[in-house]
A and B are shown apart, each in its own frame.
Chain A
Amino acid sequence: MTDMALRISDLRKTYSNGNHALQGVSLDVPEGSFYALLGPNGAGKSTMINMLADIVRPTSGEATLFGRDVFNDKAWCKRHMGVVPQEVAFDPFFTAREALRITCGLFGQKLDPVWMDELLERLGLAEHADKNARQLSGGMRRRLLVAQALVHRPPLVVLDEPTAGVDVELRRRLWDFMRELNRQGTTILLTTHYLEEAEELCEFVAIIDHGQLLTARPMRELMREVAGSYLWMRYDDDWRLKEVDAESLSDFQPRVCDGLLCLTLTRSGQHASSFHAAYDAAVTRFGPPLDAGVREEDLEDVFLRLTRENQA
């Protein structure tokens, strides 16, 4: 049986204003995995992370980190976890280097200067290390948060949207670094709105919406079993999908994506799909399209479909 870095069981959070931010989420994050936690804004991702980080009190539920109780064995668990908060936080009195030194000390660790320099280098902060945090750009401050989460070398790193506002090149460098850490054994739990990156990086994925877990499984399994394909057809600019048209094509869940008619294809048996039936139905309704094609669903499509179904 795989050892779990993090086990969350029936975790709930109801805020004082009555908002049920988390409604009984259970999740297992295997040790050494790169795990994506996805969900639309307000889904409960950050609430969950903040409960693990002891910033928000849980209403009920349990969580263990490498077998230790997160809510009762706090000191041990905090030492073994590094969290990049979603909101940028910086101390205006200190430089980036001082901030790292302080964070490392607060976590009870003796600073390893070689590791600090490596963090600054790998995160593109080396030449800004002695600047006051006030002088850093938004992207630099966010990278400093990543460095602060890693400075005490935790075996579990939680990244809550670490690349918001970070440019493409530096984002790529950050992911390379995270991949490397993951290969060395660090478990990484990531929330991001860049679903392409999540699909590329993560072996496991969980999707939550309105405080409920919609799915949690290996990424490949999700893409194999849940992701489908759809037929897209382009008509002229005046074309509209009316209610009556949508009704007649309802077997194919018709929708408009970027001005295109999109019809979901289903598979029957090993190879056959509903391509011909969908194509014929659309042509019967609207005539031959100007252009058409078939596209496999990616993680973003699956994510949107699952959250849309949940909201419905």
Chain B
Amino acid sequence: MRPVNPRGAWTLFQRETRRFMKVKMQTIVAPALTAVLYLIVFRYAMGDRQVPGLDVDYFTFLIPGLVMMSMLQNSFANTSSSMITGKVMNVHIYLLMAPLSAMEVVVAFLAAAVVRALVVAVVLLAILMPFVGLGLEHAWMVVFYGLCGSVLMGGLGLIGGMWSKKFDEMSMINNFIIMPLTFLSGVFYSVKQLPPFWQQVNAFNPFFYLIDGFRHGFLGVGDTNPVTAVWVVLVAVALCVVACWWLWLTGWRLKE
């Protein structure tokens, strides 16, 4: 686990951040536009309605969830697209041939995923904040859940990219696992609006804690017990990072 090549890890981090900056329209502008479209649609569909159980209007409720959802999806996309493109173009062999430890590779990939998520979040908030009086009640929660969410999704993207052999398989993971979990995690509704059974089911979705905790940081109210949420998120992140490290170390689906 000792660092063997900090310069190599830094180079990999730079490579991964430069990659998404080279296609800004696709990686930053497009997610921002999608989030704005969601807001416009829901704004007119829901009007000035309040969210049941929370003393907040629907528009204000929606913004932090949308920002967090974009962060989660973009951190996932950063690592997963890099891995699958690398495998299809055969460039991943340079990571296998380079004198990098598994932890260095994982840290570099995840750090770049976090940077992309942060850039998207900043752009989105800069666009949306002028239209709504969104406060910042607990800054630590915003930072904590923002970082943990990006690391978790970056890690899942890395694992998905390692598993996939072609773009179709990657797309399958994205459309059938990641999208449903993020959409059904309380971005567009409060969990208190759900029937009791589905509230119980939601308790097993780590994305729900991420989005609720992130929103709690802005609004000062949320659906979950903050202590439970912190533990659930920390355990999920730790498991994911260890899994990434172990899978890279063993060359899972990378080395024959």
Q: Which A residues are within 8 Å of any B CB, using their own CB?
A: 15-16, 53-57, 74-76, 78-79, 83, 85, 87-94, 98, 102-103, 105-110, 148
Nearest neighbor of A78 in chain B, beta-carbon distance: B99
- CB A302 to nearest CB in B, in angstroms, measures 32
Question: A55 contacts B22, CB within 8 Å?
Answer: no
Cross-interface CB contact of B93 among A89, A98, A110, cutoff 8 Å: A89
Nearest neighbor of A52 in chain B, beta-carbon distance: B97
Most chain B CB inside 10 Å of its own CB: which residue of A53, A55, A85, A103:
A55
Chain A residues with CB under 8 A of B255: 54-57
Question: A75 contacts B99, CB within 8 Å?
Answer: yes
- CB B95 to nearest CB in A, in angstroms, measures 7
Question: A106 contacts B101, CB within 8 Å?
Answer: no
Additional A-B contacts beyond A55-B93, A57-B256 (8; CB < 8 A): A16-B256, A83-B97, A89-B93, A90-B91, A93-B18, A93-B22, A102-B15, A106-B95
As a 0/1 sequence over residues 223 to 256 of chain B, the CB contacts with chain A under 8 angstroms (1 = contact) are 0000000000000000000000000000100011
Chain B residues with CB under 8 A of A93: 18-19, 22-23
As a 0/1 sequence over residues 1 to 40 of chain B, the CB contacts with chain A under 8 angstroms (1 = contact) are 0001101101110110011001100000000000000000
Chain B residues with CB under 8 A of A16: 256
Question: A89 contacts B90, CB within 8 Å?
Answer: yes
Instruction: State A83–B94 Cα separation when bound (angstroms).
Output: 9
Instruction: State A59–B71 Cα separation when bound (angstroms).
Output: 42
Nearest neighbor of B2 in chain A, beta-carbon distance: A75
- CB B63 to nearest CB in A, in angstroms, measures 32
Contact status of A88 and B98, CB under 8 A, knowing A16-B256, A56-B256: no
Question: A106 contacts B94, CB within 8 Å?
Answer: yes
Chain A residues with CB under 8 A of B101: 75
Q: At the interface, yes or no: B174 with Cβ under 8 Å from chain A?
A: no
Contact status of A53 and B93, CB under 8 A, knowing A105-B8, A106-B11: yes
Of all A-B residue pairs in the complex, the 4 with the closest CB atoms, nearest first, are A105-B11, A89-B90, A106-B98, A75-B99
Q: At the interface, yes or no: B171 with Cβ under 8 Å from chain A?
A: no
Instruction: State A213–B7 Cα separation when bound (angstroms).
Output: 39
Q: At the interface, yes or no: B41 with Cβ under 8 Å from chain A?
A: no
Question: B90 contacts A107, CB within 8 Å?
Answer: no
Chain B residues with CB under 8 A of A54: 96-97, 255
Question: A88 contacts B8, CB within 8 Å?
Answer: no
Instruction: State A56–B256 Cα separation when bound (angstroms).
Output: 5
Cross-interface CB contact of A148 among B23, B85, B94, cutoff 8 Å: B94
Q: At the interface, yes or no: B51 with Cβ under 8 Å from chain A?
A: no
Q: At the interface, yes or no: B173 with Cβ under 8 Å from chain A?
A: no
15 A–B pairs (Cβ distance < 8 Å), ordered by A = A53-B93, A54-B96, A54-B255, A55-B255, A57-B256, A85-B90, A91-B91, A92-B89, A105-B10, A105-B11, A106-B8, A106-B94, A107-B8, A107-B99, A109-B7
Interface of B, helix, strand, loop or mixed by DSSP: helix
Question: B256 contacts A108, CB within 8 Å?
Answer: no
- CB B104 to nearest CB in A, in angstroms, measures 10
Chain A residues with CB under 8 A of B18: 93-94, 98
Instruction: State A98–B91 Cα separation when bound (angstroms).
Output: 14
Question: A102 contacts B11, CB within 8 Å?
Answer: yes
Question: B97 contacts A55, CB within 8 Å?
Answer: yes
- CB A239 to nearest CB in B, in angstroms, measures 49
Chain B residues with CB under 8 A of A78: 97-99
Question: A89 contacts B89, CB within 8 Å?
Answer: yes
Nearest neighbor of A86 in chain B, beta-carbon distance: B90
Nearest neighbor of B21 in chain A, beta-carbon distance: A93
Question: B7 contacts A75, CB within 8 Å?
Answer: no
Nearest neighbor of A101 in chain B, beta-carbon distance: B11
Most chain A CB inside 10 Å of its own CB: which residue of B15, B94, B95:
B94
Question: A108 contacts B93, CB within 8 Å?
Answer: no
Most chain A CB inside 10 Å of its own CB: which residue of B85, B101, B255:
B255
Question: B94 contacts A103, CB within 8 Å?
Answer: yes
Which residues 99-126 of B have a CB within 8 angstroms of A? 99-101
Chain A residues with CB under 8 A of B23: 93
Chain B residues with CB under 8 A of A109: 7
Instruction: State A76–B100 Cα separation when bound (angstroms).
Output: 10
- CB A281 to nearest CB in B, in angstroms, measures 51
Question: A89 contacts B94, CB within 8 Å?
Answer: yes
Chain A residues with CB under 8 A of B12: 105-106
Instruction: State A79–B8 Cα separation when bound (angstroms).
Output: 11
Instruction: State A279–B86 Cα separation when bound (angstroms).
Output: 60
Question: B94 contacts A57, CB within 8 Å?
Answer: no
Question: A108 contacts B5, CB within 8 Å?
Answer: yes
Nearest neighbor of B108 in chain A, beta-carbon distance: A106
Instruction: State A54–B248 Cα separation when bound (angstroms).
Output: 12
Chain B residues with CB under 8 A of A79: 99
Question: A75 contacts B93, CB within 8 Å?
Answer: no
Question: A105 contacts B93, CB within 8 Å?
Answer: no
Most chain B CB inside 10 Å of its own CB: which residue of A15, A57, A89:
A89
- CB A213 to nearest CB in B, in angstroms, measures 21
Question: A74 contacts B97, CB within 8 Å?
Answer: no
Chain B residues with CB under 8 A of A108: 4-5, 7-8, 98-99
Instruction: State A93–B27 Cα separation when bound (angstroms).
Output: 14
Chain B residues with CB under 8 A of A83: 97
Chain B residues with CB under 8 A of A74: 99
